[in-house]
């Protein structure tokens, strides 16, 4: 009787344990590539000893081994090993449509990156927006990758929440609602030099869970959250003090810099975008600049922007709208927004101090190779007392201190020398500039410090 009771107890315990754990489906049978198909490139995929091996090849674009099945919400786990000469990635919620770049695979990718920057398990948007979550946002995760060894990645994509882990270390914590469904794919990245030919990336133990996800997801992550959902403030951001400076729908909280109301022309709110409309390329000659109704002192400002070819605009702060009642823009410190390749302003000023990301006409930004000309970019301005920083796509471009002799020397050598106490005011409006070119803005958020 005692033995029978022990057996029954063991069966019951096994049943309870099985019920509480994830129910996994193997995506790779360990023998062949049944259920998968190759898209875009001609790199080779083979199977050996229960492992999928992707081998690099010259003169081919990125190649993807894609599941034939489409997935929405899921938890995905797999092991990978990569040659140090090769970059790779794991696509998820990805698609290939003939009408989109002739079938180019596009969608979320969990990066496989043996390079010194160490961004493995960061999230990249292949074929679309580029980096959504680089590990510069989570430096602790850079130590997770193991070179020349097997690595275990976990990807949770549940609703708009995308989270990754590498070898048990939390890497990405992203909110994004661009794509809800798509295939899983294994990438062999294109190569550019003969010494990379034959480099391999390997995958095994590829499994997915699509049921009881809320119960089976990891309860928490210590990776910092990044919110990519347009014109929204997440619960985490709200707790940190972030607020929308533009609601994505109306002109509430904004007015013309030289008006008491919002301009009747020159600006357009459309599909979650605040657009400066194209006119004659003149400075504040169409709708005119717009400013916040409220003034700000210490703050962190984040703005996403996209320029059209040859465009000029800017984000100004510490603006005093009582200065310059005549023609031209209102006066304030400016984060320059410019097409450096096409607009003549880039070659004016002193040593590049009118280029993208610069403090206009005062301090030049370094060359901005990380700028995405055909997509949205993020401008961030941090003000703590007299100390100010400019960031473009999370890269520091300018850093300075106001109310100092050095600052005054810069001002005296600039176009702003005619304006008394320029840049030294305690608080001011925030401004978006009309320079006669079409520029799009969204995700305008502020945190007062």
- Read out DSSP for 146-168? -TTS-EEEEEEEETTEEEEEETT
3-class state of residue 209 by DSSP: strand
Mean pLDDT of 330-355: 94
State the pLDDT at residue 22: 65
pLDDT of residue 11: 47
In this prediction, residue 20 carries a pLDDT of 46
- Tokens 């990438």 identify what position? 187
Residue 434 and residue 284 in contact, taking contact as beta carbons nearer than 8 Å: yes
- Percentage of the chain beyond pLDDT 90 is 88
Residue 283 CB burial class (10 angstroms; 0-12, 13-18, ≥19)? middle
For 232-258, write each residue's pLDDT tens digit: 999 999 999 999 999 999 999 999 999
Q: How confident is the model at residue 320 (pLDDT cuts 50, 70, 90)?
A: very high
Q: In the predicted model, what is the mean pLDDT of the chain?
A: 93
Note the pLDDT of residue 244: 98
Q: Which residues belong to CATH 2.60.120.560 in the chain?
A: 22-227, 235-448
Average pLDDT over residues 423-427: 95
Assigned token pair, 165: 């882990």
pLDDT at 292: 98
Q: What is the pLDDT of residue 15?
A: 44
Q: What is the pLDDT of residue 72?
A: 98
The pLDDT assigned to 282 comes to 83
Tens-digit pLDDT profile for residues 4-31: 554 445 444 444 444 446 699 999 999 9
The reported pLDDT for the residue numbered 19 is 41
Q: Burial-class residue 344 by CB neighbours within 10 Å (0-12, 13-18, 19+).
A: exposed
Instruction: Kindly report the length of the chain.
Output: 449
373 class by beta-carbon count within 10 Å (0-12 exposed, 13-18 middle, 19+ buried): middle
Answer whether residue 413 shows pLDDT above 90. yes
Distance of alpha carbon 3 from its chain centroid, rounded? 60
* pLDDT given at position 402: 97
Q: Which residue has the higher pLDDT, 137 or 179?
A: 179
Counts for the chain of helices (H) and strands (E), in that order: 4, 29
In the prediction, which pLDDT does 285 show?
A: 86
Half-sphere exposure of 189 (CA within 13 A, CB side): 22
**Quick one: pLDDT at residue 327?**
84
> What digits encode the pLDDT tens for the residues 297-309?
999 999 999 999 9
Measured between alpha carbons, how far is 303 from 274 in angstroms, rounded to an integer? 11
Kindly state the average pLDDT of the residues 395-412. Answer: 96
The percent of residues above 70 in pLDDT, for the chain, comes to 95
What does the alpha-carbon distance between residue 251 and residue 87 come to, in Å, rounded to a whole number? 44
More confident position, 3 or 366 = 366
CB count, 10 Å around CB of 221? 18
CATH architecture of the domain covering 235-448:
Sandwich (2.60)
Mean pLDDT of the region 161-175:
98
Question: Sign of torsion, CA 248 253 256 257?
Answer: negative
Q: In the prediction, which pLDDT does 21 show?
A: 64
Q: Is 414 exposed, middle or buried (0-12, 13-18, 19+ CB in 10 A)?
A: buried
d(CA 68, CA 190): 22
The position carrying tokens 């005011």 is 425
Q: Which residue, chain included where needed, has tokens 């459309």?
A: 270
By DSSP bridging, strand 106-112 and strand 88-95 are antiparallel
Burial degree of 17 (CB within 10 A; 0-12, 13-18, 19+): exposed
> Among the CATH numbers 2.130.10.10, 2.60.40.420, 2.30.40.10, 2.60.120.560, which is that of 22-227?
2.60.120.560
What pLDDT, in 10s, does the model give residues 76-100? 999 999 999 999 999 999 999 999 9
Grade residue 367 by pLDDT with cuts at 50, 70 and 90: confident
């Amino acid at each position: 009787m005692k033995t029978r009771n022990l057996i029954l107890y063991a069966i019951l315990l096994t049943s309870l344990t099985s019920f509480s754990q994830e129910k996994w489906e193997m995506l790779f049978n360990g023998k062949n590539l049944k259920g998968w198909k190759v898209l875009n490139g001609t790199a080779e995929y083979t199977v050996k000893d229960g492992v999928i091996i992707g081998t690099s090849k010259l003169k081919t674009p990125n190649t993807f081994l894609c599941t034939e099945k489409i997935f929405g919400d899921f938890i995905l786990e797999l092991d990978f090993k990569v040659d140090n000469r090769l970059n790779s990635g794991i696509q998820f919620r990805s698609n290939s449509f003939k009408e989109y770049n002739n079938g180019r695979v596009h969608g979320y990718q969990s990066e496989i990156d043996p390079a010194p920057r160490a961004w493995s398990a960061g999230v990249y948007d292949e074929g679309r927006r580029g980096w959504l979550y680089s590990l510069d946002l989570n430096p602790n995760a850079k130590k997770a990758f193991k070179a020349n060894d097997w690595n275990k990645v976990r990807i949770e994509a549940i609703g708009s929440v995308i989270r990754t882990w590498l070898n048990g270390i939390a890497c990405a914590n992203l909110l994004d609602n661009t794509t809800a469904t798509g295939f899983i794919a294994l990438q062999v990245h294109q190569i550019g030099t003969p010494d990379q030919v034959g480099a391999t990336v390997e995958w095994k133990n590829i499994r997915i869970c699509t049921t009881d996800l809320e119960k089976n997801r990891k309860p928490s992550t210590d990776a910092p959250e990044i919110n990519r959902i347009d014109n929204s403030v997440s619960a985490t951001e709200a707790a940190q003090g972030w607020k929308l400076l533009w609601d994505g729908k109306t002109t509430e909280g904004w007015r013309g810099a030289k008006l008491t109301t919002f301009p009747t022309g020159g600006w357009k709110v459309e599909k979650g975008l605040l657009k400066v409309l194209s006119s004659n390329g003149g400075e504040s000659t169409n709708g005119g600049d717009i400013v916040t109704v409220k003034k700000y002192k210490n703050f962190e400002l984040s703005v996403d922007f996209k320029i059209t070819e040859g465009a000029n605009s800017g984000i100004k702060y510490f603006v005093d709208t009582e200065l310059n009642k005549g023609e031209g823009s209102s006066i304030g410190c400016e984060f320059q927004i410019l097409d450096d390749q096409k607009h003549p302003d880039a070659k004016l000023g002193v040593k590049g101090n009118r280029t993208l990301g610069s403090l206009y006409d005062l301090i030049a930004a370094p060359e901005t190779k990380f700028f995405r000309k055909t997509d949205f970019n993020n401008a961030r301005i941090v003000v703590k007392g007299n100390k100010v920083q400019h960031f473009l796509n999370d890269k520091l471009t300018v850093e300075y201190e106001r109310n100092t002799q050095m600052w005054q020397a810069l001002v005296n050598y600039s176009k702003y020398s005619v304006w008394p106490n320029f840049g030294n005011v305690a608080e001011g409006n925030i401004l978006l500039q009309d320079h006669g070119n079409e520029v799009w803005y969204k995700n305008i958020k502020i945190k007062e410090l």
